[in-house]
């Protein structure tokens, strides 16, 4: 799998790749950020800014907004608070990354990303956007999942738990490129689709797959041609935080 990452977060990304490789037995190729010197995309990025959670994009940007995007791309000012439509962001990067669907391509970004819930017009902040390439938003890991209280949670990227969480998101991405089904109903499986931060800490922090996905991973490692084409059939368990 090919990983593109911001040079400002190389240490964090390399720690996550070390954890991922040890678990999955798969080597990763870390490549420089595909946004570097992508000045021609400045206006396009200005257009995909989300200016209202109710599904409103910035289709007619001011020249100052385009200038800001030009400086952002030139001076590596990503992650300054602007929120982008995640799938359109991925589309803009599609021709700036190398690799195939079978290989898997991930861009780890300090930008804020969002997408619409299926059947809704409203945008929601995300920590991962499954597309080609898949995007992982570093600030999204902290801010996208809801909190039930203020104790024991993630506050910044310096938290010692972040590399393990990022590694688990890379594992989800690996499953996405294998079978387009990166989620599991088991709240203790690292593929669980966590919406609350405590769920994220439990699912992504325990470095565990459910029985079904563990078997699938073993068969993949043995080059078995099995393809998982339906959702995990694990019985929905009560989440330990509930």
- What would the mean pLDDT of 53-72 be, rounded to a whole number? 91
Q: What pLDDT, on a 0 to 100 scale, did the predictor assign at position 60?
A: 94
Element containing residue 115 per DSSP (H, E): strand 112-116
* Least confident stretch, 27-36, 58-67, 154-163, 223-232: 223-232
Tokens representing 48 are 């995909």
Element containing residue 20 per DSSP (H, E): helix 10-24
For the stretch 90-128, pLDDT in tens is 999 999 999 999 889 999 999 999 999 877 788 999 999
Dihedral sign from CA coordinates of 159, 164, 168, 170: positive
128 contact partners, CB below 8 Å, separation of at least 6: 134, 135, 136, 137, 140, 169, 172, 173
Q: Do the Cβ atoms of 49 and 61 come closer than 8 Å?
A: yes
Q: What's CA 108's distance to the chain center, in Å?
A: 7
Among left, alpha and beta (phi > 0; psi -120 to 50; other), residue 76 is: left
Q: What pLDDT, on a 0 to 100 scale, did the predictor assign at position 151?
A: 67
For the stretch 156-178, pLDDT in tens is 999 999 999 999 999 999 999 98
Q: What pLDDT, on a 0 to 100 scale, did the predictor assign at position 222?
A: 78
Rounded (5°) CA angle 84-90-95: 135
φ, ψ for residue 131 (rounded to 5)?
-165, -170
Q: What pLDDT, on a 0 to 100 scale, did the predictor assign at position 191?
A: 94
Q: How does residue 240 score in pLDDT terms, banded at 50, 70 and 90? A: very low
Q: Do the Cβ atoms of 32 and 177 come closer than 8 Å?
A: no
For the stretch 4-37, pLDDT in tens is 999 899 999 999 999 999 888 888 889 999 998 8
Q: What pLDDT, on a 0 to 100 scale, did the predictor assign at position 87?
A: 96
Q: What pLDDT, on a 0 to 100 scale, did the predictor assign at position 154?
A: 85
- What does pTM read for this prediction? 0.89
Rounded (5°) CA angle 49-173-168: 105
Tokens representing 95 are 């021709």
Dihedral sign from CA coordinates of 96, 97, 102, 106: negative
């Amino acid at each position: 799998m090919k990983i593109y990452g911001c040079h400002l977060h190389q240490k964090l990304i390399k720690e996550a790749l070390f954890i991922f490789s040890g678990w999955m037995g798969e080597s990763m190729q870390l490549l420089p950020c595909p946004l570097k010197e992508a000045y021609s995309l400045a206006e396009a990025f200005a257009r995909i800014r989300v200016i209202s959670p109710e599904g409103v994009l910035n289709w007619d940007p001011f020249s100052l907004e385009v200038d800001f995007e030009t400086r952002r791309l030139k001076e590596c000012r990503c992650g300054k608070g602007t929120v982008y439509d995640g799938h359109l962001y991925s589309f803009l990067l599609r021709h700036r990354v190398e690799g195939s669907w079978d290989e898997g391509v991930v861009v780890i970004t300090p930008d804020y990303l969002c997408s619409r819930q299926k059947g809704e017009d409203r945008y929601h902040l995300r920590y991962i956007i499954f597309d080609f390439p898949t995007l992982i938003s570093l600030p999204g890991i902290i801010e996208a999942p809801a909190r039930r209280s203020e104790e024991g949670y993630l506050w910044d990227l310096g938290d010692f738990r972040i590399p393990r969480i990022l590694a688990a998101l890379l594992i989800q991405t690996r499953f996405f490129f294998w079978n387009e089904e990166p989620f599991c109903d088991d709240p203790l499986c690292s593929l669980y689709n966590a919406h609350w931060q405590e769920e994220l800490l439990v699912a992504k922090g325990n470095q565990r797959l459910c029985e079904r996905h563990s078997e699938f991973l073993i068969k993949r490692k043995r080059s078995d041609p099995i393809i998982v084409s339906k959702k995990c059939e694990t019985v929905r368990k009560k989440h330990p935080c509930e």
